[in-house]
Structures are given as C-alpha cells and as structure tokens.
Amino acid sequence: MATNRSDAAQSAPRPVRGVFRWSLWIALYLALPIGVLWLLYIVDQPYNLSESYRVRSADWIASMDNRPPSSGWRALGADAQPKRDPTQAFTSVWFRFTIPPSVAKPALYLPYPNGNFDVWVDTQRLLQTGRVRKPLRYHKAPIVVPLDAASEPGEQYVFVRMTRQSSYPLINYAYIAPVEDALRDADEQLVLQRDIPLTVLAVMSVFGGLVALMFFFRRGQTAYGWYALTTALWALDTSHALYHGVFFHHFAWYSLTYIFLMWLVAELYFVNRYFKIPAPRLERAITGVSIVACVVLFSIALLALDSQRFERFYYNATVPFTLWTTVIAFVVSSRYFVAVRKSFTFDSVSLWLASGIVIGVGIRDICYELGIGNVPGSVYYLQFVAMIPLVLFGIQLMRRFASDSRNAERLNRELKQMVASRTADLELTSRRLTNEERRRVLAEERSRLMRDMHDGLGGQLVHALALSEQGKDRDLERSLRLALDDLRLIVDSLTPSENSLQDLLASYRHRVSKMLQRSGFTVDWILDDCATQIALKPNTALSILRIMQEAVTNAVRHSGGDHLVIRLRETADRLQLSVTDNGRGIEPGQTERGMRNMRVRAEEIGAQLTITTQSGETSIRVCLPLDFQDITVV
C-alpha cells in the first residue's frame, strides 16, 4: 500500500520527464541514420580527383563494329542519348573522348565500370574486359587505362566501346587524368567496391559459422539454425558484389533479395518473442503477404531466365517490392520501439536504434535507385548497413548461448552436489544400518551366551552346590570339573583370534591329550587341511566342540576301549566330524542324557548327528551343512 502511494505521488512529474526522455531517444533514432549516411558519404568520396579532369563532352555512335567506326559520330546531349536495341541480346555503343593536351601522362579512368569495355587509341586496342557477345562479365573494379599512344602532339581521341546486356550503355563518369591521380582514386574506390564487401563477407561468415556451431551443440534451438542460414545467404549475396556470374545466372542472385523479405519477417517474429510483446494478427498478416510475394517473385525470377523479360519484370517489381520491404521495416522498428518502452535494456535499445539506421539507409537507397533528389554516394548502402542488426542479433544469440551454457554448468554442478550429498546420506544410513546390524548380532550373541551359561554352567554349579551340602566331595569335584571344562569351551569359542577350526581344535586337543594319556587312550587325529581352515560362528563352533567333548568323554568313561579316531573333513558343502572308539558299543539306555544333549546341540546349529554302535566300534558323526550364515570371515 505504502509503495503504491509513493508511486502515485511520484507519478505526477513523470509524464513530463518521460516525454522529454522519449523525445531525446526519438531524436537519436532519427539522428543516427543521418549520422551513418553522413559517415558513408565521407567514405564514399570518388571526387577527390579534380572535377576538371572529368570528361564533360563526348561523341557517340551505336554500332556493333569491333573497331572504332570512322564516321557517323554525334555529340552526346540530353536529347541525343544511346537507346537500348531491343532486337539484340545486348547493346553496343562506341564513345569518343578528346584527350586534353594539358594533361601530362594521361589515363582514362572509369570509376564505376558497369559494363564490358573495349578501349582504343587510334588503331590500337588498349583494353578489353569480357567478350563483347557475352557481356555478362562485369568489371566491378575501377578501370585505369594509361593512354601512352597519345603522347604524339595534336588532337587525339580515345575510343571506348561499352556493351551492356540489360540496359542502355551510358558512361556517367569518365575522367582523363594524370595516371598517378587516377590510380590513387581508383585505390580509394577499391575500398568501397571490394574491401567493404569483403569485410561484410568475413563478418557474416564468422557470425554465421559461430552460430552454426552453437546450433550444432543445441539442436533444439532452431533460432541458431535460422540465423546461420540467414547469414549464409547474406554472405552469398554480398559475394555477388565482388564476383558476377558465379554458380548461376546473376538474375537469380538478384532474386535472392526477395528471400530477404522473409528475413525481415523473421525479425518481426524474433522481436515479438524475444521481448515478449505478442502481436499474432500482425504477424499473420505480414507473413501471409510476404510469403505470397516472395514465392511469386522468386519463382518468376527463376523461371524467367530470358534476360529481357526478367529485366522488365525486375524493374517493374522493384518499386512495390521495395515499398513492401519498407513497410515491414517500419513495422519491425515500431515493434522494437514497443520493446524499448516495455523494457529499457541494452538489447531493446540497440536493436531499435539499429532498425532506425537500416530504415534511413534503405530510404536513401530507394532514392538513389529511383533518382529522386541528388543523393550523394556511388553504391547501395543497405546491404552493408543491414549487417548492423544482424551482428547485434548474432551477439544476442551468442550471449544467450553463453548464459545457457553457464546455466547448464551450474545445474550440472548443483546436480553433482545433490548426488554427492545424497550419496553421503546413503552412506550414513548404510553405516547406521551396519552398526545396527552389528549391535543386533552382538545382542544376539550376548543373549545366547547368557542362556548358555544359565542352562549349562548355572545348572552345573547349582548341582555342585547341592552336592557340597550333601558332603559328596568326589561327585562335587567331578561336577565342578565338568563346569570348568564347559567354561573352557565357551572361552575358546569366544576368543576373537581363534576363529578357524584349527585354532579351536588345537586348544581342545592340547587339553584332552593329557587326560586321554592318563586314561590309557591313544588317539589318531585325522584332520583334513581344508576343513581346519574353515571359520565358524562362535555359537556353531561351541556346539561342535561340545559335541566332540561329550563324545570323547563318553568314550573314555564308558566304552572300555583304548583307542580313539577323531576325524574332521570337508566334503562338498558339508563339514564332517566323527569320534570313533574301539569299545564295547553303547548299550540301550546307557548314557542317554549325553546322547540327548548332543542331539539338541546338533539340532541347534542345523547339523545331523548319526550314532552307529556295535561291539568293537562306536562312531558318533556330526554333519554340518556349510551355510555362509555359519561361517565368519577367515
């Protein structure tokens, strides 16, 4: 609210300031083309050469002769000018200039030779450009012909034959000047007629090439493609200013101009979209008319390869075409103006001012073409000046490409960061989960140990307590020894370094050996090397050890034998442990509790317990399927 009010308060003096500002800008808009034209006029000064050297009078004769005619000359005047011969494909006219004796080292100088020339002095040919019967090879560079033959005193003539294909031959500008002066002026003319077009060609090629490259990287941006195509056409058209008769009929070159109507229309679309000032009806109207005009003009131009008919058509079409082009140019310029009013930025202002320059120069070119007023200069400027908005366009596109690339890079970077942070998150989660898992395993292990201690050791100790109360010392000692033995196994199975079966068995073997020896037993330990390398989870290891201990103890106590075979081997995916004695075998009902214990322990770890017994051999076999669940990392 507050801001609105302050806006309203400030809005009072604004129109005045606004009008002032806009008048300034519009003045600039009008002044710029004038400035540019003035600049071009300064550059385009073919009259450095003293006007006194200009040929003011000449004789002429329309003739197809290949040598200067000897008679029939008439003076060139307003009512006596060469006409085009409609019966011929080209018109040939001989001119005759007097060489002033005051000029030392004279040379014939033709700054704008727009036809084929044949230059003679007396009976000597000094120069011929192009073949007479095929007068299409325009000699665009200025012609300087030193008239050495004219060194003899007396009145001398220079004969110039001019042939033109599409128009009547007339030499507007001819000089007979000292050869040095003529050459210097010709050099300046070359800048205008050759160097500037070359520059345009180079700039167009560079911009077109760069944008074409951009288009290659971003196929989706059709604007780049259109721009590249447009500049290519423009460059092609400009090359026409340098060389004629390249590739195809030069009328087709002229016809290319019609295509540029569409370029202007495209510019209209560009403005409306780039500055977000939609005008669909205007666009449709302009596009419709332009497409029809373009198609009709271009196809007629291409079909009418007959030079005379084309010429007639071309000249008749020029005025409406130029007028329509001017209309579109004004429309585009006005759209730029709307854009400037909408957003006063470098983009909009520069393009608007450039459009003003193009329109100004275009009007000048029309006047030059139609001979309205005495327009100074020597060439059409539009094709050079129109380069300005095209270059500005190119710069905008490149800037857009650069900012797009920057954005893409930034997005890429952000994406990378996002991926990195997500990865970190995932790692954290995974670590947390791993810790969780470890904690869970630890808790499981702990609870197993507690249960084990409670059931085994606890029971044993309670049993021992009862025995001590009863005073049964021998039983008490036995019970306590059993408890100790079990505690040893628990400690063995839990010792972290002793994770392979080999280590676990070693401790047990070391302990039991003395006892077995005392009991008069001999033992064969048959341990498969592979099997001893297996590492089991503590609880699995403990169960295996307990079963083994129980089996050995039973054998020693009850079998009545004197030899044990303890065998450990690995078959396929099973671990097999067997304890075999040479005793009398297990009688039914005997040591049932021990057997039950072994079975329970085997079941707990998913192993199979097999007992085969007969007199002379009792074997207790545990078969443990080797599941990766049971095996810890070795």
Partner 1 sequence: MPDSVRVFILEDDVPTRESLERRLTLDARYAVAGAAGTLAEARLLLQTTPVDVLLVDLQLPDGNAIGLIRERTELAPTIPILVISVFGDEERVIGAIEAGARGYLLKDDSGEELVDSIHRVRNGESPISPAIARHLIRRFQPSRPIEPAAESIEHALSEREMEVLRLASKGLTYQETATALGVTVNTVGTYTRRIYTKLAVSSRAQALFEARQLGLMGGDE
Residues that bind partner 1 (CB under 8 A): 481, 484, 488, 491-492, 495, 497-498, 502-503, 505-510, 513-514, 517-518
Query: Residue 391 or 506: which CB sits closer to partner 1?
Result: 506
CB–CB of 84/96 below 8 Å?
Answer: no
Rounded least distance, CB 485 to partner 1, Å: 10
CB of 552 to partner 1, least distance (A): 13
Q: Are 90 and 164 spatial neighbours (Cβ–Cβ below 8 Å)? A: yes
Closest separation in Å from C-beta 491 to partner 1: 4
Looking at beta carbons only, is 488 or 584 nearer to partner 1? Answer: 488
CB of 425 to partner 1, least distance (A): 40
Q: What is the DSSP letter of 351?
A: H
**Contact predicate 106/75, CB 8 Å:** no
Whichever of 421 and 517 has its CB closer to partner 1, that residue is 517
| Nearer to partner 1 (CB atom), residue 355 or residue 493 | 493
Beta bridge partners of 535: 500
360 near 37, Cβ under 8 Å? yes
CB of 528 to partner 1, least distance (A): 13
Q: How far apart are CA 486 and CA 502, in angstroms?
A: 19
Nearer to partner 1, 503 or 617 (CB): 503
Nearer to partner 1, 427 or 477 (CB): 477
Q: Which is nearer to partner 1, 191 or 484 (CB)?
A: 484
State in angstroms the smallest separation of the CB of 492 from partner 1: 8
For partner 1, which is the closer residue by CB, 518 or 593? 518
**CB of residue 463 to partner 1, shortest distance in Å:** 18
Report the nearest approach of partner 1 to the CB of residue 504 (Å): 10
Question: Rounded to the nearest whole angstrom, what is the least distance from the CB of residue 404 to partner 1 in the complex?
Answer: 58
Closest distance to partner 1 from the beta carbon of 578 (Å): 18
Of 241 and 489, which has the nearer Cβ to partner 1? 489
State in angstroms the smallest separation of the CB of 568 from partner 1.
12
Place of tokens 């050079």: 384
Rounded CA-CA distance 569/248 in Å is 95
Could you give the C-alpha distances from 558 to 329, 510, 549, 554, in angstroms and in order? 119, 22, 14, 6
Q: Distance between CA atoms of 418 and 410, rounded to whole angstroms?
A: 12
CB–CB of 226/212 below 8 Å?
Answer: no
Pick between residue 323 and residue 484 the one whose CB is nearest to partner 1.
Answer: 484
Q: Where would I find the H helices in 378-500? A: 382-385, 387-452, 459-470, 473-494
Q: Among 97, 100, 99, which residue's Cα sits nearest to residue 76?
A: 97
The whole-angstrom separation of Cα 378 and Cα 111 is 9
Cα separation, 105 vs 154, in Å, equals 15
Per-residue CA distances from 403 to 63, 267, 399, 406 (Å): 66, 22, 6, 5
Comparison of 370 and 484: residue with beta carbon closer to partner 1? 484
HSE toward the beta carbon, residue 419, CA cutoff 13 A: 6
Residue linked to tokens 């229309």: 265
What's the closest the beta carbon of residue 515 comes to partner 1, in angstroms? Answer: 10
Element (H, E) at 24: helix 14-43
One-letter amino acid identity for 341? Answer: R
Cβ proximity to partner 1, 144 vs 489, nearer residue: 489
CB neighbours of 337 closer than 8 A, spacing ≥ 6? 352
- Rg of the chain in Å (alpha carbons): 55
User: CA of 548: how far to CAs of 390, 445, 544, 567, 597, in Å?
Assistant: 95, 22, 6, 11, 11
